[in-house]
Chains A and B, each alone.
Chain A
Amino acid sequence: MSKVDSLNMGGEPSRNIWLDAAERFLGNRLAVVGLVIVFLFVFTAIFGSFLAPYDPFEQNLRNTFKPPNMENWLGTDDLGRDVLSRLMVSAKTALLVAFVSVSISLFIGTIFGLLAGYMGPKVDTVIMWLNDVTQSIPQLLLAMILVISVRIPINNWIDRLYSDTNWQIFSPTGRGWVDFVIIFGVLAMISWPSYARLIRGQVLKLSEEDFVMAARSVGASEWRIMFKHILPNAMGPIIVMTTYNIGTAIVAEAGLSFLGIGVQPPNTSWGSMLAQGWKVWVIAPHIMLAPAIAVALVRITFNFLGDGLSEALNPSSGKI
């Protein structure tokens, strides 16, 4: 570092693209606010079950439909459960689903995108065809087909595992995690094409660049070019897209749960809370408004964060 500094005669401190990007990012007020809210969200999601003022599953039928008050800050729902506590515990569902499903789809999409862009026209055609087919069905409908075609075989399979091993996590009551796994898979299946498309485009664009030809001319292997030269340079757009997609995944999970085909009780989700609240909106709109605002807030936050990152990581594009 000091060597570089001493070489730098102009008096300007040495620059690093990530530091530059961080500086630009911090200059964007909306993005910083977004970052703070995201930190709050992640914090709540991780520690929500400790922070929650009440037990989110404890029912109290003498204390139902209470509007927000001093004891229950966001009121109570149709079974007398504390809405704030449920909201905080559900944040974990949202974060978990977003994080895992985005990671899976990022992984699949990166692999397929690299292959499509790099392995020649035949592989490209097959992958892009798969891509087109999955994108020609509206995503929500695709999710529905996936959910119903996967749920029964998986449950049958786990039934068999349970009778073989007798482990508690396979028992019908300890099986809440299966819903999560199904949702992870389904959301990943829906969103990988967008990554594959993006990365394929980046690969095709970057392969034309001089530095790739330079690497090739000094005899770098294809794998090395792919992972050491092309992927790092495609990182900016991938990070931006991932940020947007986390927001999208949270909304998608909430949407599926709202329709009743996502996370099932006793697991909680903002979507299923919203659906519950919608049944009683005339007498107690707060039950529905709390998760609604939470979903919208988190989604908008991730959008702003994505906008900020996109400007910070891609200064040449400037403002639209």
Chain B
Amino acid sequence: MIAVIFLTFTMLYYGGGNPIDVMVNQGNSLDWPQERIDYMKERFGYDQPFYIQFQRYVSNLVQGEFGYSVRAQRPVGPMMTARVPVSVQLGLAAAFFTLIIGIPLGLLAAYFHRRWPDSLIMGITITSQGIPEFVLGPMLTVLFVLWLGILDVPVGWNGLFNTQLILPLIVLTIGSLPIIVRQTRSSVLDLAKSDYIRTARAKGMSDTNVLLKHMLRPALIPVTTTAGLMIISLVNGAIFVETIFNIPGIGNLSRQATIAVDYPVVMALVIITTLMVMVANLLVDLCYPLIDPRIRRS
């Protein structure tokens, strides 16, 4: 985490110089006198050498301060607190749907291994893996809104429980679904070779019972491992989905900040996103004992 902060800070410091210079050089309308530039630099501490700036940034960060965006002319902290909940809700909802749909699909595919439901599910999975979010979003919108006329134009954010969010959630879910489906299917198929499953079958247990009572839990262990991948893919997807559907979350903000070359905001976004990914991975780790009793005992 500290490595991420340090690397990002170093890259932005040496890459861009200070935000004031960038602003003055880019904005043609800004013809500030040199005194004003110097004053602004001094005021925000951009005239200090690298290690002092870094130290100051970290100590502010520890106190929960993300600094001040000179470009947006307001502190970064409130910008974040307004947007993070939106993205977190969206991400959690998408993760929920991914698991709820993905695990059963994977089980089904494994249950009908090498028969048509398997080929169908895997075919759709492989195909949908090839369609990136920024292609799927617009295409589904044209399909559902323009041609079929079922949904309204999904733009903006009015809380989680709103029909506007149907399309964004579909797009996000489909984006991360393949990981879960594939992993569930292959871990069930791996388990099918093990001795205790053969024993259960030999006792005359039905296939469905074997699948749900003996295989579901152990098959979920590898799936939890891929949850980290799912989270990363959700974050990537969120940047596109929030841009496409104009949802005021951090994905959308990160695009705007990148185009506007707004360093403090990008910096804060990197830190928050990395933190969220880490917390999510931690939560996943904490879920292990619930699924796997062997870990609980040790």
C-alpha gap A138/B15 in the complex (Å): 20
Per-residue interface assignment for chain A, residues 66 to 81, with 1 indicating a CB less than 8 Å from any chain B CB and 0 otherwise: 0000000000000000
Stretch at the interface among B6-14, B42-50, B67-75, B98-106: B6-14
Say yes or no for A278: interface residue by CB 8 A criterion. yes
Per-residue interface assignment for chain B, residues 229 to 259, with 1 indicating a CB less than 8 Å from any chain A CB and 0 otherwise: 0001001100110011000000000110011
Say yes or no for B186: interface residue by CB 8 A criterion. yes
Chain A nearest CB, measured from B179 CB (Å):
14
Looking at the complex, which one of A138, A147, A148 makes contact with B277 (CB distance below 8 Å)?
A138
Is B132 within 8 A of A255, CB to CB?
yes
Is B139 within 8 A of A289, CB to CB?
yes
Is B273 within 8 A of A299, CB to CB?
no
C-alpha gap A138/B235 in the complex (Å): 7
Chain B nearest CB, measured from A307 CB (Å):
7
Instruction: Give the interface SS of chain B, mostly helix, strand, loop or mixed.
Output: helix
Chain B hits for A307, CB < 8 A: 126
Chain B hits for A152, CB < 8 A: 15-17, 22, 261
Assess A251 versus B132: contact at CB under 8 Å? Given A138-B277, A152-B261, A278-B244: yes
In the complex, chain B residues 1-43 whose Cβ is within 8 Å of any chain A Cβ: 3-4, 7-8, 11-12, 14-17, 22
Chain A hits for B139, CB < 8 A: 289, 292
Chain A nearest CB, measured from B217 CB (Å):
22
Chain B hits for A141, CB < 8 A: 235-236, 239, 254, 269-270, 273
Is A281 within 8 A of B142, CB to CB?
yes
C-alpha gap A65/B135 in the complex (Å): 20
Chain A hits for B165, CB < 8 A: none
Is A136 within 8 A of B277, CB to CB?
yes
Say yes or no for B134: interface residue by CB 8 A criterion. yes
Is B240 within 8 A of A320, CB to CB?
no
Chain A hits for B255, CB < 8 A: 144, 259-261
Chain B residue with Cβ nearest A248? B132
In the complex, chain A residues 263-320 whose Cβ is within 8 Å of any chain B Cβ: 271, 274, 277-278, 281-282, 285, 288-289, 292-293, 295-296, 299-300, 303-304, 307, 320
Q: How large is the interface on A (under 10, 10 to 19, 20 to 34, 35 or more residues)?
A: 35 or more
C-alpha gap A176/B132 in the complex (Å): 26
Chain B nearest CB, measured from A3 CB (Å):
44
Chain B hits for A304, CB < 8 A: 126
Chain A hits for B164, CB < 8 A: none
Say yes or no for B53: interface residue by CB 8 A criterion. no
Looking at the complex, which one of A150, A278, A303 makes contact with B130 (CB distance below 8 Å)?
A303
Chain A nearest CB, measured from B80 CB (Å):
15
Chain B residue with Cβ nearest A129? B3
Residues of A near any B CB (own CB < 8 A):
129, 133, 136-141, 144-150, 152-153, 247, 251, 254-255, 258-261, 271, 274, 277-278, 281-282, 285, 288-289, 292-293, 295-296, 299-300, 303-304, 307, 320
Residues of B near any A CB (own CB < 8 A):
3-4, 7-8, 11-12, 14-17, 22, 126-127, 129-132, 134-135, 138-139, 141-142, 146, 153, 186, 189, 232, 235-236, 239-240, 243-244, 254-255, 258-259, 261, 263, 266, 269-270, 273-274, 277-278
23 A-B residue pairs with Cβ-Cβ distance under 8 Å, sorted by A, are A133-B3, A133-B4, A136-B274, A137-B274, A141-B270, A141-B273, A144-B255, A145-B270, A148-B261, A149-B11, A152-B15, A152-B16, A152-B261, A153-B16, A247-B130, A259-B239, A261-B258, A278-B244, A281-B141, A285-B146, A296-B130, A299-B130, A304-B126
Which 7 residue pairs are nearest across A and B when measured between Cβ atoms? Answer: A149-B15, A300-B130, A138-B235, A299-B130, A144-B258, A149-B11, A292-B135
